[in-house]
Structure 1
Amino acid sequence: MVLWEEELAGLVNMWEVPWCFSGDFNIVRFLSERSSVPYYTTGMMDFSDFISENGLVDIPLVGGQFTWSNNQENEIWSRIDQFLLSSDWEDHYPAVSQRRLKRLLSDHFRLLLDCGAPCGDNKCFKFENMWLKSEGFVDKVKSWWGSYLFEGLPSFVLANKLKSLKLDLKKWNEEGFGDIGRKKKELLEGIQELDALAELRGLVQEEKLKKADMSKELENTLLCEEIHWRQKSRALWMKERDRNNRFF
């Protein structure tokens, strides 16, 4: 408990960088990860809480189910060795996996973390807080999440559902939400054209309604842009009532 809450959790909160923990944790998360555990223990629940609260990902183990055995007559198998990654690790290494290698003279199997080729386009996935301002976004995410069907250990199911959600979010951002800078430019140009018409001859009712809709959309676009830059600057500590234009 002290290791999870004070040692490792303290390190995670110290720097905002991708994290990878590895080693013999001497504990499992699920009953299926040990052959002789009939019920969940306090240590197992504490370990799961540590992983969840710190946004770590327990990626699936390839090549076998367990990583250790006691080599006794009544043999006990367990998965106490593993790699735990922060969720943004996959942004840099999207093909990451952990594989069990052959066991030599040890009670433990050797593990290999295969990161594959690094992300080379500098366009790694980030969840944008401004997406939450898009009408129907939360319902859309719920619908996507419910449509993903995977079978296996809970960690395997979660990891694959998150990968699928990432792909859907990327596609929706490109095709549905759109580029916030281009949208802002188009709206400003459209409103400017209508203002020019208003000075020349006045606007008919249809044009007035169009301008009102564009002004409303521009207001929301500017709010999204502000949220985007605030997130990018990591000024998450600033409260809505404490916003200071000079800071930006």
Structure 2
Amino acid sequence: MYHLNIPVDENWLLLGDFNFLRSLDNRNLPGGDLNDMFIFNEIIGHLGLLELPIKGKSYTWSNMQDTPLLEQLDWFFTSVDWISDYPMTEVLPLAKTASDNVPCVVTIKTSIPKSNLFRFENYWPELEVFMDCVDSSWQKQSRKGHITARIADKFKSLRMCLKRWQKNISKLKL
């Protein structure tokens, strides 16, 4: 068994060749010790582990015979905190080598959305039409009651107008 400890906010991965089945579906032929399955699953539940399933593979071990016995003996577990921080974590099987175990790789990634940044260009005020855009935006009425909310609303409106205006002048940069 292998244990990979990632010391980031108590997050961790537990992975390895446990040599236990979790259910009768984890092998292609009848058999398996139900008592061992029960104990293994009880330990997983008691520890609050979450399984990371292997994408596209049902079995990770073979006895390499002509009529092979196939079993999933390799398991990948983690915590709720890990799943929250890295929701796109995947376990992917690799091409089988001479070993009786299928090697796997754990990909850890997160989806961080790109912000839609507003970038003010220093040359804009030098353009004649820039002040027209600012003026028309600033003259729009705000429905906000408090003065600070009205100013924030006007800046937000100005940013949107300048973004639209910028698309029409973008060829000037060339």
TM-score interval, normalised by the smaller of the two chains: 0.5 to 0.7
Q: For residues 59 and 35 of structure 1, what CA distance do their matches in structure 2 show?
A: 21
| Distance in 2 between residues matched to 1:114 and 1:23, nearest whole Å | 15
2:55 corresponds to which of 62, 87, 94: 62
1:82 is paired with a residue whose SS is strand
> Greater strand percent: which structure?
2
CA RMSD of aligned residues (A): 2.5
Per-residue deviation at 1:72? 0.8
Q: How many residues align?
A: 108
* Cα deviation 1:108-143 (Å, max 9, x = unaligned): 1111111113779xxxxxxxxxxxxxxxxxxxxxxx
Aligned position for 2:69 = 76
Counterpart of 1:90 (choices 60, 83, 86) is: 83
Are 1:19 and 2:12 matched, yes or no? yes
* Corresponding residue of 1:163: none
| Structure 2: distance between partners of 1:38 and 1:90 | 33
- For 1:92 and 1:64, locate their aligned partners in 2 and report how far apart those are by CA, in whole Å: 25
Aligned residue for 2:41? 48
- Decide which structure has greater helix share: 1
Indicate the percent of aligned positions where both proteins have the same amino acid. Answer: 28
Name the larger-Rg structure: 2
Match of 2:28 in 1: 35
| 1:119-130 alignment runs, 5 A limit | none
Matched with 2:99 is 106
Aligned residues of 1:63 and 1:100 also touching (Cα < 8 A): yes
Q: Contact 1:94/1:119 (CA < 8 Å) preserved in 2?
A: no
- Amino acid paired to 1:90: I
Q: Give the gaps of 5 or more residues in structure 1.
A: 9-15, 121-248
C-alpha contact (below 8 Å) 1:100/1:112 kept by paired residues: yes
Deviation at 1:65, TM superposition (A): 0.8
The answer as to whether partners of 1:63 and 1:101 remain within 8 angstroms in 2 is no
Q: What are the residue-to-residue correspondences of 1:136-147 with 2, within 5 Å? A: none
Distance of 1:108 and 1:84 partners within structure 2:
18
TM-score norm. by structure 1 comes to 0.40
**Structure 2 residues without counterparts, runs of 5 or longer:** 4-8, 114-174
Aligned-partner SS, 1:91: helix
Write the distance in 2 (CA, Å) between the matches of 1:67 and 1:52: 22
Q: Secondary structure at the match of 2:59?
A: coil
